[in-house]
Structure 1
Amino acid sequence: MNKLALPISIIALVATIFSFFYTQNQSELVYVDINKLIEGYKRTKFEKSIFDKKANTLKANVDSLMVDWQNELKDYEKERSSLSKNELELKEEILGNKQQQINNYQSAIQKQIQEEDQKVTQTIINDINDYVKEYGKNNGYRIIFGASGSGNIMYADDLSDLTTTILTDLNASYEGK
């Protein structure tokens, strides 16, 4: 009986050690730095450049309207002394209405720019999330954490950081489309 106890305990010990390392490998905790992925993703740069051009065009339209209004205001100031009371009131009302319309237009443009920026950002985040999910499935990870610099992950060793690997593969995937 003693002869069987030693080999069984050795086998049990080896099995325990093997299962410990096997489960450690399978449940390895990894993460990606979300901010680095967003900043380094080539699609982000592409989409933001398109967005910036559109936003600058919209802002230029508002600026142009403001310059026109300011010129009308200067003209009004110059000819003010030669206008009758009714003409003054009418001109002031027209200038006031035009200023209000420009302010409303400017607010609408700012809202549109903000909404489009959120839409572009969300599209990029969705793209990254989909890729990380697929990467995790294809490479056998059970969990990939996302660190955003706001305290989600306070410490992790460099071996747990998949950011560079995923960013390289994500950009290659984007360029291949």
Structure 2
Amino acid sequence: MKKALLILGVAIALISCDKKEDKNESFKTAYIDTAKLIQDYAKFKDEDEKFKVKSQEMGRPLEAKLKAFQTEASGFQRNAQIKGMAWAQQKGAELQQREQELSMEQDALLRQIQMESDSIRTSIVKELKDYIKGYGKKEGYDYIYGTGDAATILFAKEPYDITEKVLKQLNDEFNAKNGGTDKKEEETDKSDKKEEEK
């Protein structure tokens, strides 16, 4: 009886080892160059362009103030000679105070722009992570690794790189939602290349 249990135990162990080996054979893994994915993602490019326009608009009032200050400061030296030392000291103190205020306003604007930029980037990165998670489940991957800014792969064979596949699907979905802006750009690029070849 004990021999039978021992043989049964050994048989179960062998079968479980065979199953582990079968699992390893069907193991599916890949990696994505996350820096390239973000850089070439049409939504990221679109959001980046929108943000550049917005940050320029945000900076216009401050830019006008800085130009006015520079004009006033350049006129200060000429007027100081004409209006005297007392005027120059008073006006110099006023200009110094305004310069500090403008500097503080500029710092606050840069912080606000940086916060908004970080918020957009974080939102897109989260969206990409969710997308890759869904893509991995749908395509039956056991693991998808990331390279780029936070490199977790030191070496991988080329066939395991699915960056282009994922990027194409992301851009196709984004363009389908937004009227296909990239296709128009690609057609323009192709027609430009054909004209150059002629």
TM-score (norm 1): 0.81
Q: 2:24 corresponds to which residue?
A: 23
**Residue 136 of structure 1: how far off its partner (Å):** 1.0
Give the length in aligned residue pairs: 163
2:63 counterpart residue number: 63
For residues 123 and 105 of structure 1, the distance between their equivalents in structure 2, rounded to whole angstroms, comes to: 27
Distance apart, 1:169 and its partner CA: 0.9
CA–CA distance in 1 between the matches of 2:23 and 2:88? 87
Aligned residue identity for 1:58: M
Q: Tell me the equivalent position of 1:42.
A: 42
The Cα shift of 1:150 comes to 5.5
Answer yes or no: is the 8 Å Cα contact 2:28–2:140 preserved in 1.
no
Q: Summarize the alignment of residues 161-176 of structure 1 with structure 2, pairs less than 5 Å apart.
A: 161-176=161-176
Shift of 1:81: 2.1
Compute the displacement of 1:31 (Å).
1.0
Give the Cα–Cα distance (whole angstroms) in 2 for the partners of residues 67 and 111 of structure 1: 21
Shift of 1:95: 0.9
Q: CA distance change for structure 1 residues 32 and 149 in 2, over 3 Å: closer, same or farther?
A: same
Decide whether the 8 Å contact of 2:30 with 2:145 is kept in 1.
yes
| CA deviation profile, 1:126-168 (whole Å, cap 9, x unmatched) | 1111100111111222221111166421111122111111111
Partner deviation per Cα, 1:42-94 (whole Å, 9 max, x = no partner): 00100000111122233444333222111101222111123244433321222
Q: How does 1:5-154 map to 2 (within 5 A)?
A: 16=18, 20-25=21-26, 27-148=27-148, 151-154=151-154
Point out which structure has higher relative CO (alpha carbons under 8 A, 6+ apart): 1
- Given that 2:38 and 2:44 are in contact with CA atoms closer than 8 Å, whether structure 1 keeps it comes out as yes
SS in 2 for 1:156: coil
Q: 2: distance between equivalents of 1:153 and 1:23?
A: 20
Give percent identity, aligned residues only.
25
Following the alignment from structure 1 to structure 2, what is the Cα–Cα distance between the partners of residues 167 and 70?
47
Name which of structure 1's ranges 51-60 and 107-116 shifts more when overlaid on structure 2. Answer: 51-60
Q: Which stretches in structure 2 are left out of the alignment for 5+ residues?
A: 1-13, 178-198
Unaligned runs of 5+ in 1: 1-11
Structure 1 equivalent of residue 184 of structure 2: none
Shifted more, 86-95 versus 56-65: the winner is 56-65
Amino acid in the other structure paired with 1:35: A
